[in-house]
Amino acid sequence: MRAKDEFGPEYVVEVFDAKTGMQGVMVIDNTARGPGKGGMRMQPDVTTEEVMGLARAMTWKNALADIPFGGAKSGIKFDPKSPHKEAAIRAFADKVKKFIPDLYIAGPDMNTTEKEMAQFADQVGNNMATTGKPASMGGLPHELGSTGYGVALCIKTAVESRGGKLDGMTVAIEGFGNVGTFAMKFLSEWGAKVVAASDSKGVIYDNNGLDHGELMRTKAEKKTVTAHGKGQVLPPAELFKLPVDILIPGARPNVITDANVDDVKAKIVAEAANIPMTYGVEKKLMQKGVLVLPDFLANAGGVISSYCETMGWDEKKMFEVVTEKITNNTKLVMERAKDGDTRAAALAIAKERVLEAMRK
């Protein structure tokens, strides 16, 4: 038997489809607060253990976000570049649809977008099967920027809760995709100065500040921020060493490690990506007085948007709810983290909410 504890998992369902060769797993970790909510990823090397860990992370994220969802996740072991990708998505939907949407609601994740969410919901025969669907299906696609907005708002709230202001604070952002671009947009509008951004090709660094609109045009036209022309091009790893006030790891896991943690000069590290460092590395930063805004607090805007989608609310209402919940939860974590350990404080709040629901 796989590892379990008082919180779950409630279901670990492994499926196989002979026709497409699709292998998949759905993990429903805990449904005390509502149906399990978590993304559906497609990777050739996805494992059940990986999905179990991600499902547990969603239990805490949804509880901390204070939305009526439990935690879940699913993974499809399949080549996302295959011409038979849709067939694999539909085969997976057929295998797990008896759990949907009462126990599991899917969403976009690694190598799945609003297109795959539409296919999945269509195959299940229920629009409530997924969130992050196209707007034409009543969806609130993540392309609206809810996650990046939430990251920026979490930073702003944390800074202001300490009596500071974003005005003039310098920022470096790892990852210039959906999350990074919207985080830059809102932080810039609120007075911060983004001086560095990166993608898979490298880093563009300009201590005078980067213009959001200009950098977006560079990325759209030339496919990489390193072609910007203004500023200095650096290797990807150099981003984490820059002398900035705020560092946003927003792309890959485990980018800040024991090997480079002492190079981090930022006063605030906001985790836009999931698991950009281990808890042990986070504690090293906290001991140096760095404010770490943990992933399941900082990047919860996307899952809050998902909740709004299930309620049938529009874009305006969604941003109002994201604003309210990110602000309140960030303030609560800052108040509880008297010793500076923000992850421990956030996790304690999430566990309290799940245990209360389980008792009821």
**Using CA atoms, how far apart are residues 315 and 12, in angstroms rounded to an integer?**
34
**Using CA atoms, how far apart are residues 264 and 287, in angstroms rounded to an integer?**
13
Is residue 182 within 8 Å of residue 147, measured between CB atoms? yes
Is residue 29 within 8 Å of residue 59, measured between CB atoms? yes
Is residue 37 within 8 Å of residue 59, measured between CB atoms? no
Dihedral of the alpha carbons of 47, 70, 330, 170, in degrees to the nearest 10: 30
| In the block, residue with structure tokens 């990046």 | 148
Handedness of CA 267, 273, 275, 277 (dihedral sign): negative
**Using CA atoms, how far apart are residues 255 and 278, in angstroms rounded to an integer?**
10
Closest-CA residue to 308 (of 292, 297, 319): 319
Is residue 99 within 8 Å of residue 130, measured between CB atoms? no
Q: Which two tokens stand for residue 236?
A: 């990807």
Q: Which two tokens stand for residue 352?
A: 């309290």
Is there a catalytic annotation at residue 73?
Answer: yes
Distance in angstroms between the alpha carbons of the first and the last residue of the chain: 28
> Which run of H or of E encompasses 25?
strand 22-30
**Using CA atoms, how far apart are residues 296 and 274, in angstroms rounded to an integer?**
8
Pairing of strands 232-234, 70-77: unpaired
Please identify which of the residues 37, 73, 77, 85 carries the catalytic annotation. 73
Q: Which amino acid is at 254?
A: N
* Residue 348 burial (CB count, 10 A): 15
Closest-CA residue to 124 (of 102, 109, 146): 102
As to burial, measured by CB atoms within 10 angstroms (0-12 exposed, 13-18 middle, 19+ buried), residue 354 is buried
Catalytic center residues: 73
